[in-house]
């Protein structure tokens, strides 16, 4: 088993899109999907983006700014989009957006977003350096800058 290369990759190489149908077991008595189920899907989508970038096993370390904007109803489609925002030595931040798509009308709306921080581990279960993620578009560059500020806030919160 060869070691994953440590050469930088582009942010766009990590883009992950997931599509899921809302099943009855995932809904509450208002007929809307449970927050915990959406969080589970967000974590999977972000972990895949992180593994695509690192080629490593990754473990969720922190979740920030998780907001639910509108409910997703039974029978709607859940679409998730995740991509790496920035790498910090052995950890990296991934951003994710969740959309609901009405399969009757084709309309799609954003319903949630969050930032997930993962740590990458080597074959011996030790944290391991991660190659840089190069932002190319204006949006990717903006997220790259903002990720540094969010990291500072996280470090401050931990000390406090």
111-150 positions binding its own copies, by CB under 8 A: 114, 116, 121, 125
Contact string (CB under 8 A) for its own copies, positions 53-72, x = contact: --xxx-xxxxxxxxxx--x-
- Determine how many CB atoms are found less than 10 A away from the CB of residue 70: 11
Which range touches its own copies (CB under 8 A), out of 85-93, 102-110, 132-140? 102-110
The enclosing H or E element of 84 equals strand 77-88
**Minimum CB–partner distance for residue 34 and its own copies (Å):** 7
Q: CA distances (Å), 63 to each of 67, 72, 154, in order? A: 11, 21, 10
Q: How far apart are CA 45 and CA 32, in angstroms?
A: 21
Q: How far apart are CA 7 and CA 37, in angstroms?
A: 35
For its own copies, the closer of residues 11 and 41 by Cβ is: 41
CA 99 to chain centre: 13
By CB under 8 A, residue 32 contacts its own copies: yes
Tokens representing 124 are: 């011996």
Residues that bind its own copies (CB under 8 A): 1, 4, 13, 16-21, 23-25, 27-30, 32, 34-37, 39-45, 47-48, 51-52, 55-57, 59-68, 71, 75, 77, 103-106, 114, 116, 121, 125, 157-158
């Amino acid at each position: 088993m060869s070691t994953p290369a440590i050469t930088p990759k582009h942010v766009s190489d990590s883009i992950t899109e997931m599509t899921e149908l809302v099943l009855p077991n995932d809904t509450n008595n208002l007929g809307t999907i449970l927050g915990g189920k959406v969080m589970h899907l967000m974590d999977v989508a972000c972990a895949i983006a992180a593994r695509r970038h690192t080629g490593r096993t990754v473990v969720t370390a922190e979740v920030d700014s998780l907001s639910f904007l509108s409910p997703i109803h039974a029978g709607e489609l859940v679409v998730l989009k995740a991509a790496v925002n920035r790498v910090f030595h052995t950890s990296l931040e991934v951003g994710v957006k969740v959309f609901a798509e009405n399969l009757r009308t084709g309309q799609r709306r954003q319903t949630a977003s969050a930032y997930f921080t993962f740590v990458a581990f080597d074959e011996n279960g030790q944290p391991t350096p991660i190659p840089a993620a190069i932002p190319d578009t204006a949006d990717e560059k903006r997220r790259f800058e903002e990720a540094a500020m969010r990291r500072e806030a996280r470090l401050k919160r931990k000390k406090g």
